[in-house]
Copies of this chain bind each other. A is one copy, B any other.
Amino acid sequence: MPLSDSSREPSLEYAFHPRSMAVVGLSPDPHGTWLNRMYLQAPLEAGFKGPIYPVNRKGGHIGHIRVYTSLSEVPEPPDYVVSCIPAQQTPDLLEECRAVGVKVLQLYTAGFTETGLSSGIKLQDRLLEIARRARIRLIGPNCMGVYCPDWGMSFSPDLPKEPGNIGFLCQSGGNAVFLIRSAAARGLRFSKGISYGNACDVNECDILEYLADDRGTKVIAAYIEGTSDGRRFADVLSRAAAVKPVVVYKGGYTEAGGRAAASHTGAMAGSEVIWDGIIRQTGAIRVNSIEEMIDMLVALVQMKRPKGLNTCVVGIGGGASVVATDEMEKAGLRLPPIPPSIQERMAQIIPPAGGMLRNPIDAFPLSRLILYKKRAQGGKSGNAHAGDKGWSDFMSLLENWPDIDAVIFHFPFDTPPVPASNWAAATVEPVLTAVRTCHLPSAVVFHSIVTDASWRESRKMQAICLAEEIPFFLSLKGAAESIAHLHQAGQIAKIWSVEKQH
């Protein structure tokens, strides 16, 4: 929402929805630089809802856009300023911000406490002192800033323009980019998020508090390297996790990792035991990589919640089925045996030789039958309704199996002796058609991808999943752990009411 001037202290609303923006330190160099892409091209393409003013002492033009020589030359006082100038010059910039009435200063600029040098620490202290007096909020320093697609705030040209329901806070800029890109590839979208670096003013607690209250945010994702106020953090996390799912990745959880975090964002990484205790006690969900975080978000946002851990695993290939079973069981899922009555009816669909009709189910013979049938019909896809002797009938059988809480279909792309380009579409598509109508919590896993052919074929199948809103994973482990967490988290915090996106 747009902001009206008011007497209250500049809040994070000015960070997510500034009326205008200036970027200080962009180069008029016609070749362009990373910074131009990040802070001019990205918000312009994302449709930033206000004017953007590049500022550089040298003036000039970037493309057709005029570069102003100072903040005071800019036609209106910008709510939000991005600093891309050297650290030593930032106190002067902050004074200039005060003079023109800026609300938020985001510092891409690095070279502060994270250097470990006393000069850097002093400089950051000085910035904070000026900002507090001037009632300007600082984001960073040493960060990428704000991503808020519904307002056109962005720091990379290739991030999605459409908004969604996940809010994030990410102490690392690179991890923020990776988080958004990875999520985008899986059909996840964001309400708003901040890469907040050294957290000298706006910190993990402020953002978490904001996102907990934010109506557009249904799920929170947090990558945090440290906190300077453990008590407040535990308190804020606890309140946030009580109202919506919060997924936390603590970066720098080993001893050397903690030292690396200090060197990266000046973070006080703290003890692993304390962090783990806080995360568990508050009911937040802990993950240990961006990949795990994305998988957990896919489960939370896109999947129906399983009532229990009983899972049926259906795949292509015996070895892959054994591997899948180990991963499922290790993650805490259970694979109960198929009741004889259902097994008998299944045997009428799937021939026994070269398959496995227990749980896991190796449906390779069924896939081959369908593949040949399809080829005989000149490539036209077969039936996908009751009585098809194919995936639709198979799915009905699963739905009649009362003990099952979830179904996982998995496709290993590089295990068959014939390249994926020869079989993937014809084999996977009929399953996706059936999964779409499945009433049980279900997901698809595309895995064991090492060749270019398999990458390409898998991307085509992913595109179908995205269009049909079928949740998919790219590793068996990721699927298993996320689905187990999804059930367990639901047990802990029954209050959550994340609606399925579709």
Contact = CB atoms under 8 A, between A and B. Distances in A.
Number of copies: 2
Interface in A168-188: 170-178, 181-182, 185
A95 to B, nearest CB: 21
Band of interface residues on A: 35 or more
Contact of A144 (B263, B322, B414, B417): B417
A417 B34 contact: yes
Contacts of A451: 158, 181, 185
Contacts of A260: 321-322, 324-326, 335, 356, 358, 360
A289 interface: yes
Interface in A239-277: 251-257, 259-261, 263-265
Nearest to A225: B322
B415 A353 contact: no
Contact of A115 (B109, B259, B352): B352
5 contacts: A175-B323, A175-B415, A177-B417, A252-B326, A256-B335
A459 interface: yes
A412 interface: yes
A233 to B, nearest CB: 18
Contacts of A173: 318-319, 417
A31 B422 CA distance: 13
Contacts of A117: 352
B320 A353 contact: no
Contacts of A1: none
Nearest to A360: B260
Nearest to A354: B110
A448 interface: yes
B352 A319 contact: no
A275 to B, nearest CB: 12
A261 B172 contact: no
Contacts of A172: 317-320, 322
A414 B325 contact: no
Given A330-B254, A450-B182, A177 B416 contact: yes
A53 interface: no
A60 interface: no
A167 B464 CA distance: 39
Contacts of A322: 172, 225, 251-252, 257, 260-261, 264
